[in-house]
Amino acid sequence: MRYAKPRKYTHVSRYSVYRQIIDDNNNQYTETANQYTVDEENTDIYHEVQNEEENRLDIISNKYYNTPDYYWVIAMANDLVDPFIIKVGDVLRIPSIYSLYHWGGALFTRV
């Protein structure tokens, strides 16, 4: 395994600081923060990406969670390595807010 230079974006991106990881088979991955399992639930919603939402998980997050901050939950639930490859017509799984906060959910924290 080796590291490549960060991906070059044509716009300001929070991902510009992440390195590219290249494995022994020359597959390239983007370095990410902690990974969480976002289990599929029968309360999940499926959303088809519209023109104005292309490459904008923050807009989709705001639509379903009333905050753009959970864009990463949608990315993890759909095994998206790069959130800038979301195209019009893609269908994304949107986990219910309950499934995120229940015991063991991606947003669950002990108090």
pLDDT in tens, 48-100: 999 999 889 999 999 999 999 888 889 888 988 777 789 999 999 999 887 77
The residues, any chain, with a CB within 8 Å of residue 35's CB and separated by 6 or more, are 76
Portion of the chain with pLDDT greater than 90, in percent: 29
For domain 36-111, say whether CATH 3.90.320 is its number: no
Dist CA 79 CA 37 (whole Å): 10
7 three-state secondary structure: coil
Rounded distance between C-alpha atoms, residue 68 and residue 83, angstroms: 13
pLDDT digit string (tens) for 7-32?
666 656 656 666 677 888 888 776 66
Which residue is listed with tokens 């790069």? 82
Domain ranges of the chain: 1-31, 36-111
